């Protein structure tokens, strides 16, 4: 069993992961509204990843003998000034998620919960990748001033992204 505090925070994290997916779906809708299907595809896949992250925590909670609480989600922002604004917002959101996992890890360490520390380590590594991915795309968008052929080339590149569930998320 997880401590009450750890279980409560992991339940909150399920909500944050589902909200992240919700936010990325809203970002996909914004991109589709601008006829940028590749950027939309990127965020649709991000939504799938976030859902798998939520389910990974969900399954862990039950494995540890705890109950899961599913909370309602806030309405995500859906209007942006530009694709650059979308990716800047996504990058900042990933930084928030990283901070959440750092807080969860601190609680697990404080409680000498070695199993949860081990479990959370996957997410800590995943967040390095998530932040780097958002920042790399943001920098490319900035290089082309968020417009023209350069933006369409990035859009085309992102159209080829496919979702592959990570083996450790099963």
Q: Could you tell me the fold of the domain covering 4-160?
A: Ferritin (1.20.1260)
pLDDT tens track, the chain, 170 positions: 999 999 999 999 999 999 999 999 999 999 999 999 999 999 999 999 999 999 999 999 999 999 999 999 999 999 999 999 999 999 999 999 999 999 999 999 999 999 999 999 999 999 999 999 999 999 999 999 999 999 999 999 999 999 988 775 44
Per DSSP, the residues of 53-73 read HHHHHHHHHHHTT--------
Q: What pLDDT score was predicted for residue 156? A: 97
Q: What pLDDT score was predicted for residue 170? A: 45
Q: Which residue has the tokens 């996992």?
A: 101
| Annotated domain spans of the chain | 4-160
Q: At what angle do helices 37-63 and 148-159 cross, to 10 degrees?
A: 40
Neighbours of 19 (CB within 10 A): 20
Classify each residue of 2-15 as buried b or exposed e, where b means 16 or more C-beta atoms within 10 Å of its C-beta.
beeebbebbbbbbb
């Amino acid at each position: 069993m997880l401590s009450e505090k750890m279980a409560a925070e992991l339940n909150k994290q399920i909500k944050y992961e589902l909200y992240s997916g919700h936010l990325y779906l809203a970002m996909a809708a914004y991109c589709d509204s601008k006829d940028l299907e590749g950027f939309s595809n990127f965020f649709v896949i991000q939504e799938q990843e976030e859902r798998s992250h939520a389910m990974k925590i969900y399954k862990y909670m039950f494995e540890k003998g705890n109950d899961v609480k599913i909370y309602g989600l806030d309405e995500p922002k859906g209007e942006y000034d530009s694709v650059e604004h979308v990716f800047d917002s996504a990058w900042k959101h990933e930084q928030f998620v990283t901070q959440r996992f750092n807080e969860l890890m601190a609680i697990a360490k404080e409680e000498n919960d070695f199993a949860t520390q081990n479990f959370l380590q996957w997410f800590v590594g995943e967040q390095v990748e998530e932040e780097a991915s958002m920042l790399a795309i943001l920098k490319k968008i900035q290089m082309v001033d968020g417009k023209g052929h350069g933006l369409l080339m990035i859009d085309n590149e992102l159209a080829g992204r496919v979702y592959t569930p990570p083996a450790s998320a099963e």
